[in-house]
A and B are shown apart, each in its own frame.
Chain A
Amino acid sequence: MPYKTSEIVDAVVIGTGAGGAPLLARLAQAGLKVVALEAGKQWNPAHDFPTDEKAQAKLFWNDERLSAGNDPIPFGSNNSGTGVGGSTLHYTAYTPRAQPDDLRIRTEFGVGEDWPFSFDQLEPYYDEVEQFLGVSGPSPYPWGPARKQAYALGPLPVNGAGQLMERGCKEVGIKTSPAANAALSAGYYQEGVGHRPACANRGFCQAGCNIGAKASMDVTYIPLAVHYGAEIRPECFVTQLVKSPAGILSEVVYMRNGQEERQRCRFVFLCAGTIETARLLLLNDLANSSGQVGRNVMAHPGLQIWGEFDEDIRPYKGIPGALISEDMHRPADADFVGGYLLQSIGVMPVTYVSQMARGRGLWGQDLKRAALAYNHVAGINILGDCLPYDHNYLELSDEKDIRGLPKPRIYFSNGESEERMTAHANKVMRAIWGAAGARNIWAFPRNAHVIGTCRMGNDASTAVVNANGQSFDIPNLYISDNSTFPSALSVNPALTIMALALRTADRFLEQWK
């Protein structure tokens, strides 16, 4: 039953992605009255998720953002989603864990920032999230500290791109493993969620999974939250956080069906992601006594190397990221900070050809010839750490969106460390593809996953929230999403966002319940 807007609920959670959904479920399970406000729609996977890239563009956050700096970040399909489930609706469900040293970049390299707690604070939550989502992966996992628990399910089958990467890596002496992925290699049942079927190898993980085998929040933590009494309010766009005279938040204002509504509450959990979380705080001039809201934007170096092979690959089959290597986590010859991982990549045709047009500048008959090779292409990409810099930040522009609110402008330029890392990876991946027998090798430079803008830390003058995700300025405001990461980590962020969300929820419950 929906809560009344006049009622003072315990918590309003803004955003239902990897940061909001696990936390929402935890608070609901603890018996709190919780309402989640989600800007996007509630989708029905079987009906709304056709196997078609264009038809699924609706899952991206398509409100225009302005990309500035030397390496402007593409948003939309590259970053951030909309709909109940947030960006997890279209994440590729890569779920590697961060390694302990990822959390102490400053200690080890003298630059960047350490996390305000150590790996052992995240570890139990990694275990919990992996078991809950039903992550498929190898046991033992070849890199990082030994696991207390094996992955919930065995690894998914390795597709053509993965087999080629395995072949090339063997040749050049790089260790590989089937990747951990939050798609189910066998049917999975859980109390409060129900039964989810095994992955059908549809390869369409960059969009919405139509059978619920991929662990997006809409088929995992959201049903669990609802099971425990949480209310999900889709198509509610939050515009304002209202502060009472006492200096705490008392109401959340949002637009629904063109009307303004207000939900009274005791606590607010802002889980709208790096861009929208910072934008909302800046719009309302809140939680920014440090001046750090919008600062420290980071984006993973995500260079992709593509090649054409004699073999028939059919890059649309199997999970895109079937194979992984973390051998480059701290390579001996590194001249950069941190490290990166390697992943094989399959790809859908429109994404591939459009990237190729951008990356190689091909058009005319050259483009059509290269596109004809689609069934014979495979890629490898990296995901690497990124340092926070003063020159990378988000600000409100003068240009207004359709709601009359300022569009965000995001500055991003890779620094020397990111450029050296990319150059290192370029060599490594070209060697792998060369050894695997690739022709027409080409590179697509990119940065993926935006991180930062509301850093967590122990010092109120340099961080926006404390180690528990609580605002230094406004005690009943919490942030739970990728905006609070003090450093970018050398892995895909989703699993860590979820683990951190559960930790934030538990810390909150200990303190306030």
Chain B
Amino acid sequence: MSNAHMLPHYPEGTVRTLLTTDLVTEATRQALTDRLNAPLREPTFFSADDFALLDAVCNRLIPQDEQEKRIPVAEGIDERLSKNTTNGWRYDSMPNDGDAFKLGLKGINESALVIFQQPFLNLSGDQQDQILKAVQVMEAPGEVWQNLPADRFFEELLAEAVENYYSHPVAQEEIGYVGMADTPGWKRLGLNQLEDREPRMATD
């Protein structure tokens, strides 16, 4: 048993099991099953190089190195930008989402070259984190950040990565969320009142 399993965690497979029961509505089952079984997607918005960089950045923002099933975070961003859809608003100080992502990725690489004389992809995890931290607090060097507000870019990228990750049934299992299993309604609402189908945290 690996070290990770000594930490408190929720049991695996809870959501996947619930999806096979009538505790979820057909509409919910379909939405989550489609997401769970989505085939891996080749990038259509980003170039192969940009996508590899975005993927590496996303993996620092939400590490999933040890995960058996990889949740497609960067793929989700590529898919949205390919469809040219938005979440309804953007900071006026930012260019449109597609341009912001392309510029921001360029900026991350530029900062890596200035600080470590290496492209971002060649850096160690810790070094990559240093670059990202610098971007987040607006201390990253490079020309791109003269024009693109680094903190806004970082915030938008992080929020979208997080939304893609935690929308996935496997990530929801990780945090013990089973709100999708709602067809019988919830009767035990109060503090420390759990229904049978709600997973308990364990340290085994």
* A contact residues vs B (CB 8 Å cutoff): 46-55, 57, 60-68, 72-77, 80, 157-160, 163-164, 200-204, 210, 311-314, 316-318, 348-350, 353-354, 357-358, 361, 363-365, 367-368, 371-372, 374-375, 409
Contacts and interface: CB of A to CB of B under 8 A. Distances in A.
B182 A75 contact: no
A23 to B, nearest CB: 25
A348 B178 CA distance: 10
B31 interface: yes
A349 B179 contact: yes
A163 B191 contact: yes
A46 B28 CA distance: 10
B88 A61 contact: yes
9 contacts: A55-B31, A64-B90, A68-B91, A76-B88, A160-B189, A203-B182, A349-B166, A358-B158, A374-B175
A311 B192 contact: yes
B90 A202 contact: no
B174 interface: yes
Given A350-B166, A364-B61, A64 B186 contact: no
Nearest to A350: B166
A200 B182 contact: yes
A210 B189 contact: no
B27 A54 contact: no
A61 B158 CA distance: 22
B166 A353 contact: yes
Given A202-B185, A349-B179, A372-B174, A48 B27 contact: yes
Given A354-B162, A363-B62, A312 B182 contact: no
B31 A52 contact: yes
Contacts of A51: 24-25, 28, 179-180, 182
Given A51-B179, A51-B180, A163-B191, A65 B28 contact: no
A52 B180 contact: yes
Given A311-B192, A312-B191, A66 B27 contact: no
A52, A55, A61, most chain B CB atoms within 10 A: A52
Contacts of B62: 363-364, 367-368
B86 interface: yes
A64 B35 CA distance: 25
B196 interface: no
Nearest to A369: B7
Contacts of B61: 363-364, 367
Contacts of A374: 175-177
B88 A77 contact: yes
A353 B164 CA distance: 11
B124 interface: no
B87 interface: yes
Contact of B63 (A53, A313, A364): A364
Given A54-B167, A314-B198, A200 B28 contact: no
A54, A77, A365, most chain B CB atoms within 10 A: A54
Contact of A317 (B27, B63, B86, B189): B189
B177 A375 contact: yes
A372 B186 contact: no
A354 B159 contact: yes
Interface string B133-170: 00010000000000000000001001100110011000
A201 B179 contact: no
A47 B27 CA distance: 6
A204 B185 CA distance: 11
Contact of B155 (A318, A358, A367): A358
A210 B179 CA distance: 14
B98 to A, nearest CB: 12
B32 interface: yes
B22 interface: no
Contacts of A158: 189-190
A73 B186 CA distance: 34
Contact of B189 (A66, A318, A349): A318
Given A60-B88, A357-B158, 8 more contacts: A46-B25, A50-B27, A55-B28, A64-B86, A200-B182, A203-B179, A357-B159, A364-B63
Contacts of B21: none
Nearest to B183: A200
